[in-house]
Structure 1
Amino acid sequence: VPVVELICLVCDRHSALERKTLVKAFGASVTFAEIRRRMAMGCERMQATKGDKCGAHFPCLSDGLADGS
């Protein structure tokens, strides 16, 4: 996918970045799980006492694509 979206329906977060930009910023070997953690930085639900409760996700991965984590 040329543009990778990160959305969260819980907090209304939405980001869309070009894949090339993500590779430049995070490197080619980074997982989607790590990109998610970095892009959702500041979300109180990410560091909840009962674990990660953040709803941020990549819609492009719900089409059956593996997230690489």
Structure 2
Amino acid sequence: MSHQPTTRLKDHKVPVIELICRFCDRHCAHERRLLVKAFGASVSFAEIRRRMAMGCERMQTSEGDRCGAHFPCLGNGLTDGN
């Protein structure tokens, strides 16, 4: 069984963290320091994504997570484990 490491907020030191959704045109940006204060530096980007995209009807479908929300700072439109 291979273990894929989870990218955490502490792994990225950019001052602003953006979340973009390619389906619903969602675009938000939060100061990294405020995210650390709210969630802690050890929070995963997957958890931040779930919280920021809360209410997205594509997040919970019969075919799994179809939400297009991702963090550009992770590169290539990755959602970190989703």
TM-score, normalising length: structure 1: 0.87
Supply the distance in 2 between the matched residues of 1:2 and 1:34 (Cα, whole angstroms).
19
Supply the distance in 2 between the matched residues of 1:48 and 1:11 (Cα, whole angstroms).
16
Supply the distance in 2 between the matched residues of 1:29 and 1:36 (Cα, whole angstroms).
14
Supply the distance in 1 between the matched residues of 2:38 and 2:67 (Cα, whole angstroms).
22
Within 5 Å, which residues of 2 pair with 1:45-56? 45-56=58-69
Bigger relative contact order (CA 8 A; separation at least 6): 1
Structure 1 residue ranges, 4+ long, deviating more than 6 angstroms after superposition: none
Unaligned runs of at least 5 residues, structure 1: none
Q: Does 1:43 align with 2:22?
A: no
* Number of corresponding residues: 65
TM-score, normalising length: structure 2: 0.74
Aligned sequence identity (%):
78
Unaligned runs of at least 5 residues, structure 2: 1-13
1:14 Cα offset (Å): 0.7
